[in-house]
Amino acid sequence: MAIVPFSNEPDPLEEMRILLSEKWPNVRETKIPQILVANNADDPRIRACLSDGDVIVIKQDGLEQLKQRYNFTYYDRIFPIVIEMWTKESRQRMRNLGRMVRAIINDNIHKQQSYQLIRYKGIEEAVDDTLNIWRGKFRFQLESNAVCIERTTTDSII
């Protein structure tokens, strides 16, 4: 019986932040926003300031789902995320940010390290006209199908 060595499990939220940060084109229409992972202990910023520019916050959106397959050797894994975009410029700016995020994700749809597919689920807009702040919640889910179950040994299951 051999023990399987474990390494750190990749953080899908941090992977998404890195993807957006590295692939974001620096053009006037969609200049690079502040991209943060919510509750990231490694990030010294406690809050983001819209005066410094647009803000994108990446968060988990509910429970990760693990759907066991019939033979209990594999499962399907679904990780829901929400990418919130905040701007004080305009509703159009918020929609442009969302379009850029979708374009980056579509260009890299199968390149997430720990998941096989990034699927766009929809948008929820919130506008506070009295404050001139626009927010969009863009929902995605990361998917992996037929993932081999984690084991501590190399022994046969049956």
Question: Given the DSSP bridges, would you call strands 117-128 and 55-60 parallel, antiparallel or unpaired?
Answer: unpaired
The reply to whether CATH 3.30.2000.10 applies to domain 30-148 is yes
Which stretches of 24-83 are DSSP H helices?
none
pTM: 0.80
- What pLDDT shows up at residue 104? 92
Tell me which H or E stretch contains 14: helix 12-23
* DSSP line for 84-153: EEEESS-HHHHHHHHHHHHHHHHHTTT--SS-SEEEEEEEEEEEETTTTEEEEEEEEEEEEEEEEPP-SB
Instruction: Give the model's pLDDT for residue 103.
Output: 92
Q: Three-state DSSP class for 17?
A: helix
Quick: pLDDT tens for 21-60. 999 987 776 678 888 888 766 665 666 777 778 889 999 8
**Residues in the chain with pLDDT values less than 50:** none
